[in-house]
Amino acid sequence: MNFIHAIFNHILEQDQKLVRDLIFRQLGRAPTVQEFAQFLLNFEGNELVESPRKTLGQTFFENQELRVTLERQQRDMGWLREIHSSLANITQLLGDSNTRAMRRVNELETRYRDLRNISDEVQQQNDRLQLDHNSMQRELTKCHFELEDERKDKQMYQLRWKELKTAKEQLLTDSQQLLTDKQQLLTENQQLLTDNQQLLSDNQQLLTENLQLLTDKQLFLKDKQQLLKDKQQLLTDN
């Protein structure tokens, strides 16, 4: 009965009158509820129309299906709008991330160039120190040869010690002073070598940090490529 009332409420007042007149003409009396319901579901409208028409019940069912389809389509459209909004947000986030990544890459490249310039300057200083060290090494070798010659002279002076005692004492004094000066020179040269080794160690540390920076840059570019692949996969899936 609820179903019958639901259908009957969608019929215009003039159509309701037409239904009552037709059913009374056919039955010659007031219909029962079952007869009225059967007549209402099978009613095809004006009998003067020869072409077949859908029954009121069929039209009602079709309207019900259309309403369900429309509601489903509206839900689907809402879902598609949400997906489109989410994709727009993801695209914006990826764009911002790519901008930050490019800015970071530029900063790392600038820092790498600065470190490379510093490394070149340190290498040039190291080359100059190496030249100075080589020059001092030659000077030290020359001093050793001179000292050896002096020792030979000393042996000769010992043979002539009695005759040249006074000259020998003076020569020994001068030789001792020369040895002191040469020892001082050796000490200074050793300190210079120590400083040079420290500089080489600092240069090696700087090169190690530079390699680490290059490694970090490669990892960063690899992460960026993975992010771009994920973005492409997401767009492909959608």
Measured distance CA(223)–CA(217) in Å, rounded: 10
Contacts of 133 (CB under 8 A, 6+ apart): 192, 193, 196
Among residues 238, 230, 236, the alpha carbon closest in space to that of 97 is found at 230
What six digits make up the tokens of 139? 């000077």
What six digits make up the tokens of 217? 């840059």
What six digits make up the tokens of 8? 């009957």
pLDDT in tens, the chain (238 residues): 565 566 566 666 666 677 677 777 777 877 776 776 676 666 654 444 444 555 555 666 666 777 788 888 888 888 888 888 888 888 888 888 888 888 888 888 888 888 888 888 888 888 888 888 888 888 888 888 888 888 887 777 677 777 777 777 777 888 888 888 888 888 888 888 888 888 888 888 888 888 888 888 888 888 888 888 888 887 877 6
Measured distance CA(183)–CA(131) in Å, rounded: 22
Q: Where are the domains of the chain?
A: 2-71, 109-237
CB 202 within 8 A of CB 119: no
Q: Look-up: residue for tokens 């727009």?
A: 88
